Amino acid sequence: MGIKMNKYTFILLLLCALAAPQAHALNVFACEPEWGSLLHELAGDAIQVDVGTSALQDVHVIEAKPSLIAKVRRADLIVCTGAELEIGWLPQLIRQSGNSKVASGPGYFLASDQITTLEKPTKLDRSEGDIHPGGNPHFQMDPYRMLAIAKALDARLAELDPAKAATYKQRLDDFTTRWQTAIKGWEAKAAPLKGRKVVVHHWSWIYLLTWLNMEQIGALEPKPGVPPTSSHLASLVDLTKASNALAIISAAYQDPKPGQWLSERTGVPAVILPFTVGGDDRSKDLFGLYDSTIDKLLAVAK
Ligand SMILES: [Zn+2]
C-alpha cells in the first residue's frame, strides 16, 4: 500500500511537471484589436491575450484606467501600434503597472518598429495639428505591412516562449499562405476602386488608399486630430462635388454627422468603415476586416 501510494504520488508529480508549461502560457497585452486578432492567428490558444481597446474607441485618446493597468501588470509582452499613436496613455499604463518586463526589451513590441511608415514629417510643427513624428500610425489596413509585422511578432513569441516555437512557426506559415491568397483576391476584387478619390474623416486611410491606388482629396478634420468645424466642412463642398468623389469615409468609432452633412450637400455617399477588428459585424478577424472594407467601398462604386 505504501509503495502504491508512492507510485501514484510520483505519477502525480510527473503529470504536474508535464502540465507546468501550459500553466505558464504567455500573457500578452494588445493595445488595439488588430494586434489581438493577429496574435490569435499566430498563437491560437497557446497564449493568453488581453485587448486593451475596442473598435468603437478612439485609440489616440484612451484613459489609463485601473482595469488596463492591471492587464499590463500581468503581461509578459505588450503588442502595440507605436509611432506615438498611444503616446497619451501607454507610457502611463506601463509606468503605473510597475511591470519592468514590458517597459523595454523583448517584452515590448511596437508594430511601427517592424515597418517603414508613410507621411513621416520632415519638420515637427504642432501648429499643423496632432502630427505623429513617427509617421502615420494607421497602417493596419496595409496587408503587406501586416505580413511583415506578423513575421516579426512570430519571432518575438518564439524568443519569449521557445518551448512553443514550432507551434508559432507552423501557425505563421499557415497564416502567411491564407493571407497571401486573400491579398490576391482583395486586389482583384478592388480593381474598380483604382483611381477613385475620397474624402476622409481623419488621416487614417493613407495605407489602404496607397495599396488600392486610390486618392485622398480632403479631410473632414481641418488638421489631424482637430475635430471638423462648420467652416471647414463648407469649404469641402465644391471640391467634393467637382472631383466626382467615390465616398466620404469615417471609421466606426467616429461621429458620423460631419460626413453625413457633407454627403447631403454633395450627393457623395458617406461610408463608415470598420477600421479595425470589431468595427462591424463582418470584421470578426483580420480577414473579415479587409473583406468588409473592400465590399463597403465597392458597394458605392456601382
Ligand atoms: Zn491619427
C-alpha 209 to ligand 1 mean position (Å): 15
- How many residues are given for the chain? 302
- At CA 91, angle to CA 140 and CA 159, rounded to 5? 65
C-alpha 210 to ligand 1 mean position (Å): 16
Q: Domain ranges in the chain?
A: 24-115+130-185, 190-301
The count of other CB atoms within 10 Å of the CB of residue 291 is 18
C-alpha 131 to ligand 1 mean position (Å): 8
C-alpha 86 to ligand 1 mean position (Å): 10
Positive or negative, the CA dihedral 68, 160, 290, 207 is positive
Band of residue 46 on the pLDDT scale cut at 50, 70, 90: very high
pLDDT tens sequence across 88-141: 999 999 999 999 999 999 999 999 999 999 998 877 666 766 667 889 999 999
Band of residue 9 on the pLDDT scale cut at 50, 70, 90: low
pTM over 0.85: yes
* Cα 122 to Cα 182: distance, rounded to the nearest angstrom: 35
C-alpha 53 to ligand 1 mean position (Å): 15
Q: Same CATH topology for 24-115+130-185 and 190-301?
A: yes
Residue 45 has pLDDT above 60, yes or no: yes
C-alpha 83 to ligand 1 mean position (Å): 10
C-alpha 247 to ligand 1 mean position (Å): 20
Q: Give pLDDT, residue 263.
A: 98
CB 151 within 8 Å of CB 180:
no
Mapped onto helix, strand or coil, the DSSP state of residue 259 is helix
Q: Give pLDDT, residue 130.
A: 65
C-alpha 69 to ligand 1 mean position (Å): 23
Q: For the domain made up of 24-115+130-185, give the CATH fold.
A: Rossmann fold (3.40.50)
Q: Which three cell numbers stand for residue 67?
A: 482595469
C-alpha 141 to ligand 1 mean position (Å): 13
Q: What is the rounded average pLDDT of the residues 147-166?
A: 98
pLDDT tens sequence across 191-232: 999 999 999 999 999 999 999 999 999 999 999 999 999 999
Question: Under CATH, which number does the domain 190-301 receive?
Answer: 3.40.50.1980
C-alpha 3 to ligand 1 mean position (Å): 68
User: CB neighbours of 106 closer than 8 A, spacing ≥ 6?
Assistant: 77, 156, 159, 160
Reported as type and span, the H/E element at residue 216 is strand 215-219
Residue 15 has pLDDT above 60, yes or no: no
C-alpha 207 to ligand 1 mean position (Å): 12
* Cα 154 to Cα 147: distance, rounded to the nearest angstrom: 10
| Average pLDDT for the chain | 93
pLDDT tens sequence across 247-301: 999 999 999 999 999 999 999 999 999 999 999 999 999 999 999 999 999 999 9
Q: Give pLDDT, residue 302.
A: 78
